[in-house]
Chain A
Amino acid sequence: MTKRISIGCGSAWSDDRLDWAQELADSGIVSYMGFDCLAERTMALAQIRKREDETRGQDERIPELMNRFANYLSLGGKVVGNFGAANPSAAIDDVLRGLHSTGVSGVRVGAIFGDDVLDHVIARNLELPELGTRVRDLGERLVSANAYIGAEPIVELLADGAQFILGGRIADPSLFVGPIAYELGWSTEDWDKMASATLVAHLLECGTHGTGGNYVDPPYRVLDDIVHLAFPIAHVSNQESVITKLPGTGGAVNSGVVKTQLAYEIHDPTAYLTPDSTADFSNVWVEEVGPDQVRVGGAVGQPRPEDLKVLVGVDEGWKVVTEISYGGSGCVDRARLASEVVAKRLEPYASDINEIRYDLHGVSALFDDQLPRGEPAEVRLRIAARCQDREIADVVSFESQYLWMGPAGGGGVMTHTAPAIGVTPAFLPREDAKLWTEVIDT
């Protein structure tokens, strides 16, 4: 029999819904599910949670996940996810607790450690190209540093019989590349194979985007049902890779949806860099082979990058956002006047405000003045600032809210202040990130 793996996506971000993922798990169609739980900012936020409480910093959905996936796990289904976020040990505890409380036994849990490379980025004083500075220049504002790690430890853990695998900053595609490589016996140093697996992984990793979530744009791009979407599925063998979704769900897996996901967040398509390969997607082809079935191929690979990408978390103080609406004739002029009044009142604090901007929703908030459309019926002024100190953020909020008192007709004031964590890329020699694994039997 031809070797084949059927793998589904279970999550594309930290707050993704689990009900549709459960639907896929309970369908019996897939034997593996990959869960991406981290976006650029999520990791730094998780580090802050861990700093405040050493039992936190992991994905907060694990208890719900263990309930929803108890049946899938009891039938032998495998799970790979970066649920660990900033705290893989705490994630293991949550998984073990969940297995115990749902009465599922005999699950070998595997964990991957070593993506936290804070000590190494400090020791090497890595360059931070987007900030134009170096790590040590950040001083106490340096919050975290996590390396994107690849599929190799996942393959090792699967070979060791692990059924539930978790880690910290496992790269999004690697969550799927690992199971595909293991099941099909593909070497993690066969670069064409790694590129082929990465192509499939890239088409799965964004969850419902891969089944039409971000595709609809009437009247040009229309799908029958986008209310009840599905998480994508891949059937992969040595012969072919087919992307599909659960029958009876909404959305679509068609060539348009697959193409937009193909190009999503890649830069040079001849060199898509992941920890597992340098993949060339420029000659990738897609072919609709049935309803909601798209065959893909044509990816080739070069050796994986020598350096690992690291996201460095930076304490940016506080972000404060306040909004107020104006309507009717002259509304844009009044909103602009309001901006000027606030800017004037904040002048004494200017040196303590790192950045402030005034945007007009309905006019120029998304595209500056690049898309002029004339006077709108109403406009919402948004004042957003970053300040290192909470007290200054509170002053900005107060002065923005004081627009209640004029210019005329300003209503619907809302204000929000929250800690600001920036993340910025750096590149670390691969040998610095020493990864290790553990297995726990239940």
Chain B
Amino acid sequence: MKLREIAYSRSGDKGDISNICVFAYEEAHWETICREVTVERVSAVFGKLVKGEIFRYELPGTSGLNFVMTQALAGGVSRSLRTDPHGKSYQSLILDMEIPSTA
């Protein structure tokens, strides 16, 4: 199944850094998300879109993860030649990640 079935996301930008949050719809899926959505998996999903490092932070109060990806916007919103210089669409890429079924 896709991560999209149990989680939602939003991406933002600061300079050449993109951040993508992942929150569980159901508290019960928080553990699965923490286990499956690792830096390694996210790195594989984004491939060469991210030239720098990927950091993962937890928001235990709201059952959320926050991924911070450096050199991820081809120079940042003002310099980038990308179609989507903000990386607004990155939230949809992370949610497309395949994870083992929780059903």
A interface residues, Cβ below 8 angstroms from B: 39-41, 44, 130, 214-215, 217, 220-221, 256, 259-270, 281-286, 298, 316, 319, 321, 355-357, 359, 361, 365-371, 382, 384-386, 420-425
Contact = CB atoms under 8 A, between A and B. Distances in A.
A44 B82 CA distance: 20
Contact of A316 (B8, B17, B25, B79): B79
Contacts of B61: 281-285, 298
A282 B59 contact: yes
A259 B96 CA distance: 20
A366 B19 contact: no
Contacts of B93: 366-367, 370-371
Interface string B64-94: 1010100000111111011110000100010
Given A130-B16, A214-B10, A367-B49, A285 B78 contact: no
The 6 closest A-B CB pairs, nearest first, are: A263-B21, A265-B12, A384-B81, A260-B10, A283-B61, A422-B79
B59 A284 contact: yes
18 contacts: A40-B14, A40-B77, A44-B78, A259-B21, A263-B23, A263-B59, A267-B14, A267-B19, A269-B57, A282-B58, A321-B81, A359-B82, A359-B83, A367-B93, A369-B47, A370-B49, A384-B81, A420-B79
Q: Is the interface of B mostly helix, strand, loop or mixed?
A: mixed
B100 interface: no
A159 to B, nearest CB: 32
Contacts, number: 144
Interface in B7-35: 8-10, 12-17, 19, 21, 23, 25
Q: Is the interface of A mostly helix, strand, loop or mixed?
A: mixed
B64 A263 contact: yes
B96 to A, nearest CB: 6
Given A265-B14, A283-B60, A220 B76 contact: no
B49 A285 contact: no
B19 A266 contact: yes
B62 A259 contact: yes
Nearest to B81: A384
Nearest to B66: A263
Contacts of A259: 21, 23, 62, 64
Nearest to A367: B93
A422 B76 contact: yes
B15 to A, nearest CB: 5
